[in-house]
Amino acid sequence: MQRIVRGVATKAQQQRQLSAAANAPKKVEVFIDGKKILVDPGMTILQACALVGVDIPRFCYHDRLSIAGNCRMCLVEVEKSVKPVASCAMPVMNGMKVKTNSDFVRKAREGVMEFMLNNHPLDCPICDQGGECDLQDQAVAFGSDRGRLQSRLDGKRAVEDKDIGPLVKTVMTRCIQCTRCVRFANEVAAFPDFGTTGRGQDLQIGTYVEKFFASEMSGNIIDICPVGALTSKQYAFVARPWETRKTESVDVLDATGSNIVLTHRTGELLRVIPKINDDINEEWIGDQSRFAVDGLKVQRLLTPMIRGADGQLKPASWEEALFTVAAKLRETSAEQKAAVVGGLNDVESLVALKDLFNRFNSENVMTEEEFPETSGGSDIRANYIFNDGIANVENADAILLVGTNPRFEAPTLNARIRKSFLYSDVQIGVIGSESELNYDYDYLGASAKAIDDVLSGKGEFAKTFANAKQPLIIVGAQALKGEAGAAILGKLQQLADKLSAGKNVQVLNVLQRWAGQTGALDVGYKAGTAALRKTPVKFLYLLGADEGKVNKSNLDPQAFIVYQGHHGDAGAQIADVIFPGAAYTEKDGTYVNTEGRSQRGYPAVSPPGEARVDWKIIRAVSEVAGKSLPYNDLKEIRQRLNEIAPHLARYRDIEPSPFIKQALQLAQTSGSIDVDVSPALRELADYYQTNVISRNSRSMAQAKKAALENKENPYAEAPIHARL
């Protein structure tokens, strides 16, 4: 009856723990408020207190950014020190006695808070951060009840608002100059144009010359800012945090499966903010994941539609649509049926569709995205997942990126590569396009021929790569297309095999572009729509397939096309019958990310109009067509998932995939790999609208426009975004 979902330590974590234990430095003894703890000597007092459970107030300190120590709110009293000590910066020393709640500390905090509020505008009623504002909470908890500012006589300073794009709203008067955004921009997002100008009271934060915050992680400065200086333009003046409900779920707009929290109220989704998951996305999510949710309110399929005799799609009832489709399903023979799925689907609907087709003796179920069939194809799991785990990127010594631009394909993975670039001596090489990445890299060429060079040890990077203790190859799923893709995969597996000897990393990792792809391959879908073109297809079932890989010319002229999805895009245009499905925020779904980690998404709102949850529609079709599928509710279909692939029911774990040697044996290593593996997403403007939800999103359209204008002329005087 109960099901325990575990978060067992991944292999990488276990390995780190072991190594940490093996060469752990001698711990130092610290007394915090009388409690004694033993900590590693590299820690700061604030972190040591956090270990005990004492949360010291702070504004500028952030777990994932470098230490600044300029807000002074974290002051604590250390015995034998006359002055209070900034606990975020001071490292612990043996025998240190720290008091975090003495009168001295309280007075210090009240003083700091008073100074901070002296120049802060009285914007709480109109500020979006009200209710989730660090300054408000800390003023109540640690500030004094009165201030001494004579605002009639001295006044408060005011700062002009800076325009940094259509996504982030700035009210710089509210800024308390904690510089978290500056450190984030410089360290994590690699946008060094964001900084501080002036000193003291005249310190202003911005880009100095008005510029677009050209980074795919720009939305994270909204979360980071402790006050309402940087807020979301999409969410401005929409809601207060206490009237919203939060549902934790998973993001499907890219393949990393970042954990998100859906904020909703009275059945309306308001915004998406990240949820901390140290294994996948830390605390960040990309701009698309954050802002594209306004695309879920427009261009939705709300009723089933049937194309009438005049060729126009007209709304119909569920009965009519289901009976029409079921009749056609029964009429066509098994070889003439096919199903094509897109990349935003949950595994439940994929399983239901495959089961439906199998009951009609058809195996013609495929994904839009291609994957080679050599090396065991999608039968051997290690071929198509991110074998080492996203968290392990931090431990890498050398990274080779082949045919992928992780900056725009998986921004949170890229943030990890950037993190490892900053904190260690990792060397990065890129085979593909020479686009602007967050880190310095060796460009090895656009053609995949360069893999041969690395294999044979030619070139500087190849030597570093061969000698690295933890090398990593990240290949984009897009580079593995067609004949050449098979050969590239084979060559990379050879290289990985050579390098992983004696090390505990798999080395070869495939970065998928679509959230539903790994799940589809796990469940048994064929990759790529090539099979469609071999035999004429009379009945085509499109499940969210909107990337235009299938059009009418590939099919029989009298083909009957059914489209099941949530937006009216390319797929719905060519369909004969449309079933309205639910988007990822509206259904319980299981999603497998590119690491092979299965995660659960929960619904925040109900599917709008007459739309229904996807797998239930397919179950209804099966019932009407006469071959009912054996599951009626969520529990039963999850049992079916468990039958097919047990990892789908074991949430939040990565499981290592075996049979790598066998994959190598089946690999195709001959054949020319002299193809251009430049990824499709090369610059920021390409990033914003890559899937059906973000193509329909106004925020993303505005951001794309701003990015294009920025490319042309970064210093344009005119407003650089469309109206709010």
Partner 1 sequence: MLRTSVSRCFQATNTALRSFSSGKDNLPVTRSHEAKKIDVNDILETKSPKVPVNVSSDETMDIGGVPSAHQEARTARIFRPAREATQSPWGNTKLWRIELDNRQRWENPLMGWSGTADPLSNVSMDLKFATKEDAIAFCEKNRWEFDIEEPHERQIKPKNYGQNFAWNRRTRIGTK
Partner 2 sequence: MSLKAWLGIDKLQKFQQIVKEIGGVRAVLRKRYLMDVTRVGTLVGNDKYGNRYYENNEYFVPRNRWVEFPDKVWLDYDASQVPPEWHSWLHHITDSPPTVQEPLTQKFSLDHKENTSIYADKKYIPYSTTRTKVQAWTPGQKPNFD
Closest by CA position to 47, among listed 32, 68, 59, 34: 32
Chain residues 611-640 in contact with partner 1, contact rule CB under 8 A: 633-635
DSSP summary character for residue 6: P
Chain residues 127-156 in contact with partner 1, contact rule CB under 8 A: 129, 132-134, 137
User: Are 714 and 211 spatial neighbours (Cβ–Cβ below 8 Å)?
Assistant: yes
Q: Considering only 56-64, 311-319, 466-474, 494-502, which stretch makes contact with partner 1 by CB under 8 A?
A: 56-64
In sequence order, what are the beta bridge partners of 273? 261
Place of tokens 């774990």: 653
For the beta carbon of residue 36, count every other beta carbon within 10 angstroms.
10
Q: Give the separation between CA 354 and CA 614, rounded to whole angstroms.
A: 13
Q: Give the separation between CA 665 and CA 657, rounded to whole angstroms.
A: 16
Decide if residue 421 touches partner 1 (CB under 8 A): yes
Interface pick for partner 1 out of 45, 221, 222, 660 (rule CB under 8 A): 222
Closest by CA position to 193, among listed 178, 176, 214: 214
* Partner that binds at residue 313, options partner 1, partner 2, none, CB closer than 5 to 8 Å by kind: partner 2
* Helix, strand, or coil (residue 437): coil
Decide if residue 698 touches partner 2 (CB under 8 A): yes
Decide if residue 186 touches partner 1 (CB under 8 A): yes
Place of tokens 């002229």: 557
Largest pairwise CA distance in the chain: 90
Q: Give the separation between CA 87 and CA 445, rounded to whole angstroms.
A: 48
Q: Give the separation between CA 429 and CA 440, rounded to whole angstroms.
A: 9
Beta-strand ranges (E) seen in 484-640 are 508-511, 526-527, 539-543, 560-565, 577-580, 589-592, 598-601
Interface pick for partner 2 out of 305, 329, 507, 550 (rule CB under 8 A): 305
Q: Considering only 346-354, 665-673, 677-685, 694-702, which stretch makes contact with partner 2 by CB under 8 A?
A: 694-702
Chain residues 608-647 in contact with partner 2, contact rule CB under 8 A: 608-609
* Partner that binds at residue 717, options partner 1, partner 2, none, CB closer than 5 to 8 Å by kind: none
Decide if residue 695 touches partner 2 (CB under 8 A): yes
Min CB(378)–partner 1 separation in Å: 29
- Token digits for 359? 């009951």
* Partner that binds at residue 154, options partner 1, partner 2, none, CB closer than 5 to 8 Å by kind: none
Min CB(473)–partner 1 separation in Å: 22
Residue window 647-686: x/- pattern of binding to partner 2, with contact defined by CB under 8 A: ----------------------------------------
Q: Considering only 245-253, 468-476, 502-510, 709-717, which stretch makes contact with partner 1 by CB under 8 A?
A: 245-253
Q: Give the separation between CA 69 and CA 179, rounded to whole angstroms.
A: 10
Q: What is the DSSP code string of 81-127?
A: -SS-EETTTPBP-TTEEEESSSHHHHHHHHHHHHHHHHT--S-GGG-
Decide if residue 301 touches partner 2 (CB under 8 A): yes
Min CB(60)–partner 2 separation in Å: 38
User: Are 212 and 714 spatial neighbours (Cβ–Cβ below 8 Å)?
Assistant: yes
Decide if residue 195 touches partner 1 (CB under 8 A): yes
Q: Which is nearer to partner 2, 191 or 563 (CB)?
A: 563
* Helix, strand, or coil (residue 491): helix
Decide if residue 312 touches partner 2 (CB under 8 A): yes
Interface pick for partner 2 out of 268, 278, 460, 676 (rule CB under 8 A): 268
Q: Give the separation between CA 623 and CA 610, rounded to whole angstroms.
A: 19
Cβ neighbourhood burial of 50 (10 Å; 0-12, 13-18, 19+): middle
* Partner that binds at residue 297, options partner 2, partner 1, none, CB closer than 5 to 8 Å by kind: partner 2
Decide if residue 308 touches partner 2 (CB under 8 A): no
Beta-strand ranges (E) seen in 342-441 are 365-367, 398-402, 427-431
Closest by CA position to 488, among listed 452, 457, 434: 452
* Partner that binds at residue 659, options partner 1, partner 2, none, CB closer than 5 to 8 Å by kind: none
Decide if residue 203 touches partner 2 (CB under 8 A): no
**Residues contributing to the site for partner 1 (CB under 8 A):** 1-7, 40, 42-44, 47, 50-51, 55, 58, 62-63, 66-67, 69, 89-91, 129, 132-134, 137, 179, 182-183, 186, 192, 195-196, 222-223, 226, 241, 245-248, 259, 261, 266-268, 273-278, 283, 421-423, 588, 602-606, 633-635, 651-652
**Residues contributing to the site for partner 2 (CB under 8 A):** 268, 295-303, 305, 312-313, 567-568, 572-573, 608-609, 695-696, 698, 701-702, 722
